[in-house]
Structure 1
Amino acid sequence: MYDKIAAFYSFLKTKKVAFIGLGVSHNDLIKLMLKKGIDVTLLDKREADAIGEQYNELKDEGANFCLGNDYLASLTDYDVVFRSPGVYFFKDELIKARKNGVVITSEMEVFFDLCPCKIYAVTGSDGKTTTTTLISEMLKVSGKTVYIGGNIGKALLPLVEEMKPEDVCTVELSSFQLISMRQSPDVAVVTNIAPNHLDVHKDMQEYIDCKANLLAHQNAFSKTVLNLDNELGYSLEPYVRGQLSCFSRQTKPKEGTFLDENGNLCKVHDGNTRILFNKLEIRLPGIHNVENYLAAIAAVGDEVSDQTILKVAREFGGVEHRIEFVREIDGVKYYNDSIASSPTRTIAGLNSFEQKMIIIAGGYDKKIPYEPLGPVLVERAKILILLGATAPKIEKAVRDCENFETSGLQIVHVSTLEEAVAKARELAQQGDVVSLSPASASFDLYKNFEERGKHFKRIVNEMQ
């Protein structure tokens, strides 16, 4: 395996290599390849000034650059091109380059080819980051050396040379990463599938097909975890080649995990059922996090002890930007749920609290339907503060509900996040909960949901 890694980098020394976009994964990987003497060019729509300090660092280490609006015009000049997840695989320029013999790949595709250890990978429309992290935490507590990456954490390919066969990798994968994957992990977890990213994907079927790639290339010794309660997610069952383990809040699977009528998380294995612990032991709020635990346990429950799983449930405090408690001021609690970039995520956040909430929502329009969100907002929110491109769609979904007029839900429009927080503080009463739960992507105002969440936290923490 280690010879395979060395052979790969030796092969690249004879090629012209390009990277499209400079994200976390590409920054580390470009630096590594430059150190190995590989000819590397960064292709980026931004100019040098916009890239900033990273441009100077890469230039000093010997990188070449093709910047500006025509950054993809010269793709056929290169032998190997690494695509960032944000660049659509079926973009015209990439199709042309592939037809002209250019190798179009990605950091994650190559990592899967070269990784020497077991890979657990998670995808889904909602819950994939928390589930990936829970799997990682359970394996760490059990004594494993764990590398976590993909859509979260560090780039994994630059670390592959230090990995050992007895180590494990936990990877979160988005549809944009999976669209070109032709290799699947040892353990594949699909948390759920719901409409998302339809502003980029050709249609919903393409989005589903991307998710299917997570397990489509598994072998007979693999394991797949599917959600029995999610029709679209469970529709991938025909792809399963190895062991199938399911999780459910509504029914008992033949193999896997479920929530019983008393709120106990239970495990079914070889026909035997055992209770693990009650959902009240889980530190993270919300029934959706019970689902995340069921999914994670279904993935690793055969390899880590019940005591380890319970320890993680009691101690793990959550992932940043996922119903993250920020601060209490004047008796009002503020939560950062910026990860909620789709209606289903916002619905999960709304259902995590027993009281009606003040919700800040709206953002970039991913062309996904908001009708399912309307009734939940009417039932679970007392004040709805809207901003961004999707504000009219969210308001329409709410006003179209039969019981809107009698619900007492107040709708307020603002232009900025600062105005949203100020309005929330003005309208909140002691004991209220305020949550940034946008139900939309962040791209109209922010680079990503992390940047949006950090801005929200900064505004809240600066309140006097």
Structure 2
Amino acid sequence: MTMEEFYKSIKGKTIAFCGLGGSNVPLAKTFSQKGAIVTGRDRRSYEKLGDTATELEKAGVRLILGDDYLNDLHEEIIFRTPGIRFHLPELETARKNGQIVTSEMEVFFDVCPCPIFGITGSDGKTTTTSILAEILKKSGKTVHVGGNIGTPLLPKVETIKPNDVVVAELSSFQLISMRRSPMVGIVTNITPNHLDMHKDMNEYINAKKNIILHQNAFGRAVLNLDNEISASFAPKVRGQLLYFSRKQKVEHGCWLNKNEQIIFSDGGKDTVILDTKDIRIPGSHNIENYMAAICASFGFVSPDDVTTVAKTFPGVAHRAEFVRELNGVRWYNDSIATTPSRTIKGMLSIFSEKLILIAGGYDKKIPFEPLGQPICDHVKTLVLLGNTAPKIETAVKAAAGYKDGAPKILHVSTLQEAVDLCNKEAHSGDVVALSPACASYDMFPNFVIRGNTFKEMVMAL
């Protein structure tokens, strides 16, 4: 189906957009302009929506707001924002009643005219998405980047041409309802995450699996062989299967040789693609991100394209992002670290010296025990805040390597207090990092606002 055909099909239909977040707002306006009868539903009040509410009303969108926003969900087509649980009772009732419950990403996959490269995983998907997009751009392709990375793709589908490519970051919330898979699907890794939103770990894993489950024989699946859950998807792959591994040689995919070069193997043929010393962004996890991107793009780009990007790509904001050096103290913003595994693979693996670490935040109901020993090994002062602070402290004190006062554990109530305290604790040569191992929702709307706020506070010191 083309987008033009889709717009014709919705003319005169009643459509509800449940959750007026980033992707649904531009869609609601567009659909209203195309002749649909559109309702915007959101738990927030008119005042809290602010300019968004005004813009939608001007576009002819009727608003139903407040705690009862999902009452009388009678519309023929219902668009669910990724942040709304797939199995919400109101949505289950709508499905039983024969109403169409869909999402921006589902429709985009139906109407997109060009190949899609999709990336998912518990950690590393945003950086891998950005690296892959840069490599494809370097090769001369017109690339459209979006999905969970923040840019809705469906509103701009009419500008996408058949010879372009789409690079889409896909979250479990988006994938849970998908019945199409991208031409190339990457799974960076899978560890416990979002267990506050999913029924259980099994539902989370099955959602991720949709990125490769509906591929045909011409598809390509890229799996992390070093991650047990990711590697377990292999029997479900119908098309080409490529692995990447930092720990062992693979027959088809990427691995590291003794000279720390990334090799692409295709049966008996080995090709040197990239020397890891050329990767500008630090951390062993970023070697894995490059391996995933190389597997996805192999055959579409040259090794020179990969090396050029590796030498110049500075990384993504809020991911081990250098903020400033003040009085010999280096400050880093790693607000993207919303899970323990991301903090472990990120800031706790980059530096030889022990850190002053700010951690804690919203509780996603995932275990903190794996964080305990790495903090003992790599942190000298731990500054905790947020709902999860007691759980993180418990995990650290239960670790085998913990000694009384090592690391020193301090508690604060706000991020400003954390920054001020770290400034007092730090001496020349120290590294201070915000790497929370938790989501931001107890204090900030998202990790981007948390990271930007942190950077503003550090720059104001």
TM-score interval (norm. to shorter): over 0.9
**1:441 partnered with 2:456:** no
Which residues of 2 match residues 290-369 of structure 1 at below 5 A?
Answer: 290-349=287-346, 350-369=348-367
Which residues of 2 match residues 67-78 of structure 1 at below 5 A?
Answer: 67-75=65-73, 77-78=74-75
The whole-number CA distance in structure 2 between the counterparts of 1:15 and 1:424 is 56
Unpaired runs of 5+ in structure 1? none
* 1:144 partner letter: K
Q: Given the alignment, which residue of 254, 259, 280 partners 2:251?
A: 254
Report Cα offsets for 1:63-97 as digits up to 9, x if no partner: 1111111000121x200010000000001111011
3-state SS in 2 of match to 1:404: coil
In structure 2, the residue matched to 1:203 is 200
Question: Which stretch shows the higher mean deviation, 58-67 or 308-317?
Answer: 58-67
The whole-number CA distance in structure 2 between the counterparts of 1:375 and 1:403 is 6
**1:425 partnered with 2:428:** no
Which residues of 2 match residues 60-459 of structure 1 at below 5 A?
Answer: 60-75=58-73, 77-349=74-346, 350-405=348-403, 408-459=406-457
3-state SS in 2 of match to 1:351: helix
Deviation at 1:267, TM superposition (A): 1.1
The whole-number CA distance in structure 1 between the counterparts of 2:352 and 2:253 is 29
The whole-number CA distance in structure 1 between the counterparts of 2:388 and 2:357 is 14
Report Cα offsets for 1:408-463 as digits up to 9, x if no partner: 21100000000000111100110111110000111111111111111111111111
Whether the 8 Å CA contact 1:358–1:384 is kept in 2: the answer is yes
The whole-number CA distance in structure 2 between the counterparts of 1:223 and 1:403 is 43
Percent of residue pairs bearing the same amino acid type: 53
3-state SS in 2 of match to 1:405: coil
Report Cα offsets for 1:345-390 as digits up to 9, x if no partner: 0001210222211110000111101111100000011110000111
3-state SS in 1 of match to 2:67: coil
The whole-number CA distance in structure 2 between the counterparts of 1:74 and 1:93 is 9
The whole-number CA distance in structure 2 between the counterparts of 1:186 and 1:315 is 28
3-state SS in 1 of match to 2:221: strand
Q: Given the alignment, which residue of 2, 5, 9 partners 1:11?
A: 9
The whole-number CA distance in structure 1 between the counterparts of 2:256 and 2:38 is 51
* 2:383 partner letter: I
The whole-number CA distance in structure 2 between the counterparts of 1:407 and 1:235 is 41
Q: How many matched pairs?
A: 460
Deviation at 1:153, TM superposition (A): 3.5
The whole-number CA distance in structure 1 between the counterparts of 2:453 and 2:193 is 24
The whole-number CA distance in structure 2 between the counterparts of 1:309 and 1:60 is 46
3-state SS in 2 of match to 1:73: coil
The whole-number CA distance in structure 1 between the counterparts of 2:326 and 2:377 is 25
Whether the 8 Å CA contact 1:257–1:267 is kept in 2: the answer is yes
The whole-number CA distance in structure 2 between the counterparts of 1:354 and 1:225 is 31
Deviation at 1:407, TM superposition (A): 7.4
The whole-number CA distance in structure 1 between the counterparts of 2:254 and 2:404 is 40
The whole-number CA distance in structure 2 between the counterparts of 1:39 and 1:363 is 40
- TM-score w.r.t. the length of structure 2 is 0.98
- TM-score w.r.t. the length of structure 1 is 0.98
Deviation at 1:270, TM superposition (A): 3.7
The whole-number CA distance in structure 2 between the counterparts of 1:155 and 1:227 is 27
Whether the 8 Å CA contact 2:10–2:35 is kept in 1: the answer is no
The whole-number CA distance in structure 2 between the counterparts of 1:247 and 1:10 is 44
The whole-number CA distance in structure 2 between the counterparts of 1:162 and 1:338 is 33
Q: Given the alignment, which residue of 36, 42, 45 partners 2:43?
A: 45
Report Cα offsets for 1:218-274 as digits up to 9, x if no partner: 000000000010001101111100000110000111111111222111111242112
The whole-number CA distance in structure 2 between the counterparts of 1:283 and 1:410 is 32
The whole-number CA distance in structure 1 between the counterparts of 2:433 and 2:259 is 29
3-state SS in 2 of match to 1:71: coil
Deviation at 1:319, TM superposition (A): 0.6
The whole-number CA distance in structure 1 between the counterparts of 2:130 and 2:123 is 13
Unpaired runs of 5+ in structure 2? none
* 2:62 partner letter: N
